[in-house]
Amino acid sequence: MDQFTLNLLFVGASFALYIGIAIWARAGSTSEFYAAGRGVHPVTNGMATAADWMSAASFISMAGLLAFGGYSTSSYLMGWTGGYVLLALLLAPYLRKFGKFTVPEFIGDRFYSPTARLVAVICLVVASITYVIGQMTGVGVAFSRFLEVGNTTGLLIGAAIVFFYAVLGGMKGVTYTQVAQYCVLITAYTIPAIFISLQLTGNPIPALGLFGDHSASGTALLSRLDAVVTDLGFREYTLQDGTPSSVINMVLFTFSLMIGTAGLPHVIIRFFTVPKVADARWSAGWALVFIALLYLTAPAVGAMARLNLIDTVYPNGVAEEPVEYSARPDWMKNWEVTGLLKFEDKNGDGRIQWYNDGNEAFQASVADRGWTGSELTVNRDILVLANPEIAQLPGWVIGLVAAGGLAAALSTAAGLLLAISSSVAHDLFKGQLTPNMSEKNELLVARGSMAVAIGVATYLGLNPPGFAAQTVALAFGLAAASIFPALMMGIFFKRINNHGAVAGMLTGLVFTLVYIFLHKGWFFIPGTNQFEDTISGSLLGIQSTAIGSVGAVLNFVVAYFVSNATDEPPQEIQDLVESIRVPKGAGAAVDH
**Residues 6+ away with beta carbon under 8 Å from 15:** 161
Q: What are the start-end ranges of the E strands in 118-238?
A: none
Nearest to 68, CA basis, from 273, 299, 348: 299
Question: How do residues 244-265 score in pLDDT, each as one tens digit?
Answer: 667 888 888 888 888 988 887 7
Q: What are the start-end ranges of the E strands in 126-277?
A: none
DSSP 8-state assignment for residue 213: B
Instruction: Count Cα neighbours of 400 within 13 Å in the Cβ-side half-sphere.
Output: 19
358, burial (CB in 10 Å: exposed 0-12, middle 13-18, buried 19+): exposed
Instruction: Count Cα neighbours of 40 within 13 Å in the Cβ-side half-sphere.
Output: 36
The phi, psi pair for 220, rounded to 5°, reads -60, 140
pLDDT at 244: 62
Spatial distance between the Cα atoms of 319 and 317, rounded to a whole number of angstroms: 5
Spatial distance between the Cα atoms of 181 and 432, rounded to a whole number of angstroms: 35
Mind listing the domains of the chain with CATH numbers?
3-298+398-463 (1.20.1740)
pLDDT at 300: 92
**Residues 6+ away with beta carbon under 8 Å from 569:** 111, 112, 494, 495, 496, 497, 498
Question: How do residues 485-535 score in pLDDT, each as one tens digit?
Answer: 999 999 999 899 999 999 999 999 999 888 877 766 554 444 444 444 333
- CA-CA-CA-CA dihedral for 341, 347, 352, 354, to nearest 10: -80
Nearest to 303, CA basis, from 207, 232, 375, 404: 207
**Biggest distance spanned by C-alpha atoms of the chain:** 80
- CA-CA-CA-CA dihedral for 427, 431, 436, 442, to nearest 10: 0
Instruction: Tell me which residues of the chain have a pLDDT lower than 70.
Output: 25-37, 56-57, 100-101, 145, 165-171, 241-245, 463-473, 519-540, 582-592
| Residue 54 Cα to chain centre, angstroms | 6
**Under 8 Å between Cβ of 122 and 446:** no
In the chain, count H helices and then E strands.
25, 4
**Under 8 Å between Cβ of 222 and 313:** no
pLDDT at 467: 47
Question: How do residues 99-153 score in pLDDT, each as one tens digit?
Answer: 766 788 889 889 998 899 889 888 888 888 877 777 777 777 777 767 777 777 7
- Helix ranges restricted to H, 357-467: 360-365, 383-390, 395-422, 439-461
- Helix ranges restricted to H, 202-297: 206-209, 221-230, 244-262, 265-268, 277-295
In three-state secondary structure terms, 47 is helix
DSSP 8-state assignment for residue 28: -
**Given CA atoms 576, 34, 188, 183 in this order, what sign does their dihedral have?**
positive
Spatial distance between the Cα atoms of 130 and 266, rounded to a whole number of angstroms: 13
**Residues 6+ away with beta carbon under 8 Å from 507:** 551, 554, 555, 558
CA angle 478, 90, 118 (to 5 degrees): 45
Question: How do residues 184-211 score in pLDDT, each as one tens digit?
Answer: 888 888 999 999 999 999 999 999 999 9
Spatial distance between the Cα atoms of 24 and 29, rounded to a whole number of angstroms: 15
pLDDT at 35: 61
**Under 8 Å between Cβ of 170 and 368:** no
| Predicted TM-score (pTM) above 0.85 | no
CA angle 355, 374, 462 (to 5 degrees): 110
Q: Measuring CA to CA, how many Å separate 222 from each of 202, 208, 416, 498?
A: 15, 12, 37, 53
pLDDT at 10: 85
